[in-house]
Amino acid sequence: MGEKPSYLHFDKPAYAWKADTDYRQNPQLYRVGKGEQGVLICEPYKSEIGPLWRFKTEAIAQESSDKIYSLFLDYLGCDDFVGADMARKYLQMGFTRARRYANYKGGKKYDKDNNFQLLQKGTGQMQKANAAKIFYQKWQEAESNQKYSDLKKNWKSTLG
């Protein structure tokens, strides 16, 4: 049996990202965090990037990842690190979520009716594996962007 999902004991008051904060107006409040943290909360970026985020098929994933990567470059062009980091997080989340659907039927990793035991892997949709590859490539392209890397290093050393 694997660990139970972390969301079961989520400490919302301690969470660094707040839904009522405009991170474009208050970028100093943004924290890079781990992985995809804050991706579904940070406005206005959530509203700008979220509607583009899709991975149902390979073609949809290609269009989605291209649009999100284009936004990533636009944010970098404006020296908007928060926007670029959020776009990078959506690319990463495209990979992780598509992989989850490739690995688990219906994208469900835990059995909530059976004490949140880890479900059997290998029951998912194989078309999602190709979608995951597409998002992975764009995510890695974003991660290796030199301007993004420089901005991220500076951000983490000064703001967190």
Q: What's the start-to-end Cα distance of the chain, in Å?
A: 35
pTM: 0.83
How many Cβ atoms are within 10 Å of 64's Cβ, its own excluded?
23
Half-sphere exposure of 124 (CA within 13 A, CB side): 24
Q: Which of 39, 5, 15, 36 is nearest to 112 (CA)?
A: 5
Report the pLDDT value the prediction gives residue 1, as an integer from 0 to 100.
Answer: 46
Which residues touch 122 (CB under 8 Å, ≥6 apart)?
103
Q: 10-residue block means of pLDDT along the chain (160 residues)? A: 62 76 95 86 96 94 98 98 98 92 66 61 70 96 98 91
Report the pLDDT value the prediction gives residue 126, as an integer from 0 to 100.
Answer: 74
Report the pLDDT value the prediction gives residue 37, as an integer from 0 to 100.
Answer: 86
Report the pLDDT value the prediction gives residue 116, as an integer from 0 to 100.
Answer: 64
Report the pLDDT value the prediction gives residue 112, as an integer from 0 to 100.
Answer: 65
Q: Where are the domains of the chain?
A: 35-158
CA distance 146 to 160: 19
Q: Is the dihedral of CA 47, 48, 50, 52 positive or negative?
A: positive
Q: Is the dihedral of CA 112, 116, 117, 123 positive or negative?
A: positive
